[in-house]
Structure 1
Amino acid sequence: MAQRQRVVVIGGGFAGFTAVRTLSRIAKGAIEIVLINPTDYFLYLPLLPEVAAGILDPRKVAVPLAGDYPGVRHLLATADTVDIEARRVKCTDAEGNHRELGYDRLVITVGSVNKLLPVPGVAEYALGFRSIAEALYLRDHLIRQVELADASDDPEERKARCTFVVVGAGYTGTEVAAQGQLLTLDIREHRPRLRDRPMRWILADIAPRILPELDERLSRASHRTLSERGMEIRTGTSVAEVTAEGVKLSDGEFVATKSLIWCVGVRPDPMVESLGLPTVKGRLVVDEYLRVPGHPEIFSCGDAAAVPDLTRPGRYTAMTAQHAGRQGRRAARNIAASYGHGELRPYKHKDLGFVVDLGGTGAAADPLGIPLSGMVAKVVTRGYHLLAIPRNRLRIAGSWLLDLLAPRQTVQLDVVRSPATPLTHTTPEAAHSRDGNPPKAGASAKTGASAKRSDS
């Protein structure tokens, strides 16, 4: 590593952030590392539902990219194109200025974006959940709906505003529904006129059970926990149409509501396919060393890459934070090995288990294949998150303790408006126009879908 070269990393999610930190520690300033990311923080997504529920301050789940990382430079920008032959990346910064920079090694970790289905009305009326802005907006939206229901004398309007539909019963959708339900119940306690009004929550998924990624015993335990709280769980059910008045389910039922929360899943960032390199279902093809075949100078990992799963021959690793973080670490070490420091090794990891927070004292976990539920699972879940997040552990633990001892604050912050959180195929951060401002009301980024969501 005697000659200082430049490694460019596109994307500061689990894979990119971990790759930068690891490579910085190995290189110790001998390599120039440039991280291109549209925000100045790494977002710890698993705790975002607690931000929406008002348990955690958003700053506690945001880890600054500007830290004690020797040789690392953060470029606040969005990567637009990559000239593979010239080894140059073209990007646009937060002020709309265009620039480009060369690289000796390139790491593509652009992650994933919202997955939209061809369902009429979804892009216009559904609420997404992939960013701090969307979490804060959702929190305000839930509080606002209950407050508007309290102010209304129309029984049908009150019923619609107190009805919430979450589509997608994977990790994110289940946690959002669980945390959101408890938040609305807390809000109702401060509204005497609504004391007898049920907060109706529907969790729908086309899968035969919720949390299909988990052991069936954990899925059943989670189903039981949520059902006992009064949540309606609709498996084998999807959305047929969305309007300003409500949601039509695939079984024909029309649910009057102002709140459709879209947690169907994710797909690789569209930038991957624009590179002109081989892909599999939108993910960049790489070998077991996380290198792009034919381009040993290009590495990719995380949700953007189709990484061979050596523990399951013929398959690819799942799009999970657990894989992304470990792949980022392996990619960094293999890049160092390409400069003569260390040994090139394949990526191989078997999932160690998963954790799902169901709000309150509820949780489900299967560490090392051991199924847990209830309070034991809650301790394991929170312990895992404290170990996994790079910073802010004491602040997060303090917030959890405060949540046990004091009632949560249920006031709107009103810092994020609807046009700033369009549900499109772009990344949440890219929902801002090139001049750094939110898109104009009525238009969303790239797709042109109108932002018709309203709280009135």
Structure 2
Amino acid sequence: MDIVTRPRILVVGAGFAGVGCVRRLERRLAAAEADVTLVTPFAYQLYLPLLPQVASGVLTPQSIALSLRRSKKYRTRIIPGGAIGVDLASKVCVIRTITDEIVNEPYDYIVLAPGSVTRTFDIPGLTDNAFGMKTLAEAAYIRDHVITQLDLADASNDPAERAARLQFVVVGGGYAGTETAACLQLLTHNAVKRYPRLDPGLIKWHLIDIAPKLMPELGDKLGRSAQEVLRRRGIEVSLGVSIAKAGPQEVTFTDGRVVPTHTLIWTAGVVASPLIATLGAPTVRGRLSVTSHMDLPGHDGVFALGDAAAVPDEAKGEEGAICPPTAQHAMRQAKVAADNVIAHLRGRSMRPYAHKDLGLVVDLGGTDAVSKPLGIELRGLPAQAVARGYHWAALRTGVAKARVLTNWTLNAVAGDDFVRTGFQARRPAKLKDFEYTDTYLTPEQVRAQVEGGHPEAG
């Protein structure tokens, strides 16, 4: 008896792009048309733009971790792990599960949305001594760490140690770095009131970036406005400066300054997931080179989108322009990519992706923000209303919206109790400990794994 198997669609990554694609596939494909599988270490979608508010205690971690299993209509199979290699010729994805088991997962269609990882450079001591701000665990850990520094400084009788623990350095003048510095500075500003032995004047925040401007995408006026807000709060902004060396108790800047500190937060940009390098396919600045349909030329059934894909930006109309790695593009690409997978499966024509940015929002905490919705420049409370309104509307579930709104309201009315939750262990966890960038295979290792393994039908 002939057994007819359904096409297997494998989606890699549970960010804005991956989850949006899966949800669209579930809604538009009949259950008998295809089997959908999602590869992700965690069964939630992280609303990444609000991570600084988790780090500063305005939001709880659960409020921005949107469960993938909440929908009663959810039928996608989840493999708890991360893709560490793809063999395009054999149509097999190599997965390392959360129990460190290596699994060969065959597919008929693959949608690559593994996102990005923190971009680092060959700076002595960086990965051993810096914190990142890319995962939920990092945000929760940094909050614990910052409060720990206040506790230890308060208990110390050594003026040098006290001063070092109360200096904080953030590297990266983009959205992530600026919002992180702004939100965490408010955390320490409010928390120090509970420490009568500490001089608030000893708390110093440094925000540095090698670029000549803060958040150049905002334009000169709004960029200067954001910088003025930070400086008014006492955050020292240094542009044209980066890190020369990072140690456990001090950081050396490229301009020669040495800052005694136990807190270095690195947010100097992102790069495509190392998974893309395992494919052996053409890339653009490390991102997989795809067409405007988000398919990979020469490889049937391979699609890529989000931060890890160089999707042509047709809305700009410029030769070689690619979409920036933003949540706004990822969410919209997800719908088109899912529709194109379905069109390919059904033998229909695919459509290109084209979308113009709706604007930019930067939440600086409290009543401070700068926003540029539809090209309109806003500052202060109006900008804050637009920023929070945009993020609130973009949350995928009603439960998440309710949690975030409740957290915002409670924080505004009652403030923070500055409680440590226990992430600050005796052995510190740093940048290298959260993103597992050393687990990926080379193209040769992928081929050896696929040839030596025994893939089972998904």
TM-score normalised by structure 2 residue count: 0.90
Select which of 407, 411, 425 maps to 2:415.
Answer: 407
Select which of 58, 70, 95 maps to 2:61.
Answer: 58
2:117 aligns to what? 113
Change in CA separation of 1:341 and 1:224 when aligned onto 2, cut-off 3 Å:
farther
Give the drift of 1:99.
Answer: 2.1
Given that 2:12 and 2:114 are in contact with CA atoms closer than 8 Å, whether structure 1 keeps it comes out as: yes
**2:107 matched to 1:103?**
yes
Tell me the distance in 2 between the aligned counterparts of 1:280 and 1:167. 25
Amino acid at match of 2:285: K
1:38 aligns to what? 41
**2:93 matched to 1:89?**
yes
Tell me the distance in 2 between the aligned counterparts of 1:421 and 1:311. 42
Given that 2:117 and 2:435 are in contact with CA atoms closer than 8 Å, whether structure 1 keeps it comes out as: no
Give the drift of 1:196.
Answer: 4.4
Tell me the distance in 2 between the aligned counterparts of 1:294 and 1:377. 46
Give the drift of 1:431.
Answer: 7.2
2:151 aligns to what? 147
Change in CA separation of 1:342 and 1:222 when aligned onto 2, cut-off 3 Å:
farther
Tell me the distance in 2 between the aligned counterparts of 1:71 and 1:411. 39
Tell me the distance in 1 between the aligned counterparts of 2:48 and 2:375. 23
Give the drift of 1:370.
Answer: 0.5
Amino acid at match of 1:338: H
Given that 1:169 and 1:203 are in contact with CA atoms closer than 8 Å, whether structure 2 keeps it comes out as: yes
Q: Which moved more, 1:181-190 or 1:310-319?
A: 310-319
Give the drift of 1:339.
Answer: 2.2
Given that 2:192 and 2:200 are in contact with CA atoms closer than 8 Å, whether structure 1 keeps it comes out as: no
Give the drift of 1:3.
Answer: 7.3
**2:351 matched to 1:345?**
yes
Structure 2, unpaired ranges of 5+: 441-458
Matched ranges for 1:350-429 at <5 A: 350-391=356-397, 392-415=400-423, 417=425, 421-424=429-432, 428=434
Tell me the distance in 1 between the aligned counterparts of 2:427 and 2:276. 26
2:126 aligns to what? 122
Change in CA separation of 1:418 and 1:389 when aligned onto 2, cut-off 3 Å:
farther
Change in CA separation of 1:193 and 1:166 when aligned onto 2, cut-off 3 Å:
same
Q: 3-state SS of the aligned residue for 2:139? A: helix
Give the drift of 1:92.
Answer: 2.1
**2:82 matched to 1:78?**
yes
Change in CA separation of 1:59 and 1:4 when aligned onto 2, cut-off 3 Å:
same
Select which of 9, 13, 16 maps to 2:15.
Answer: 13
- Name the % identity: 42
Given that 2:153 and 2:165 are in contact with CA atoms closer than 8 Å, whether structure 1 keeps it comes out as: yes
1:439 aligns to what? none
Q: 3-state SS of the aligned residue for 2:362? A: strand
1:442 aligns to what? none
1:192 aligns to what? 196
Give the drift of 1:401.
Answer: 0.6
Given that 1:66 and 1:74 are in contact with CA atoms closer than 8 Å, whether structure 2 keeps it comes out as: no
Amino acid at match of 2:311: V
Tell me the distance in 2 between the aligned counterparts of 1:168 and 1:216. 17
Q: 3-state SS of the aligned residue for 1:318? A: coil
1:170 aligns to what? 174
Change in CA separation of 1:321 and 1:416 when aligned onto 2, cut-off 3 Å:
farther
Tell me the distance in 1 between the aligned counterparts of 2:65 and 2:152. 31
Given that 1:38 and 1:77 are in contact with CA atoms closer than 8 Å, whether structure 2 keeps it comes out as: yes
Give the drift of 1:110.
Answer: 0.8
Give the drift of 1:4.
Answer: 3.1
Tell me the distance in 1 between the aligned counterparts of 2:68 and 2:438. 20
Give the drift of 1:90.
Answer: 2.0
Give the drift of 1:433.
Answer: 8.5
Note the alpha carbon deviations across 1:12-68, whole angstroms, 9 max, x for none: 111111111111111142321100011111111001111111111101100112242
1:26 aligns to what? 28
**2:257 matched to 1:253?**
yes
Q: 3-state SS of the aligned residue for 1:295? A: coil
Give the drift of 1:329.
Answer: 1.4
Change in CA separation of 1:197 and 1:279 when aligned onto 2, cut-off 3 Å:
same
Q: 3-state SS of the aligned residue for 1:296? A: coil
Note the alpha carbon deviations across 1:415-443, whole angstroms, 9 max, x for none: 3547684313x8x3537999xxxxxxxxx
2:451 aligns to what? none
**2:214 matched to 1:206?**
no
Select which of 160, 163, 171 maps to 1:159.
Answer: 163
Change in CA separation of 1:431 and 1:144 when aligned onto 2, cut-off 3 Å:
farther
Matched ranges for 1:280-295 at <5 A: 280-295=284-299
Give the drift of 1:296.
Answer: 3.0
Give the drift of 1:320.
Answer: 1.0
Note the alpha carbon deviations across 1:200-249, whole angstroms, 9 max, x for none: 00100011121122122111111111111111110111111112231111
Tell me the distance in 2 between the aligned counterparts of 1:418 and 1:361. 36
Tell me the distance in 2 between the aligned counterparts of 1:432 and 1:188. 39
TM-score normalised by structure 1 residue count: 0.91
Tell me the distance in 1 between the aligned counterparts of 2:107 and 2:412. 50
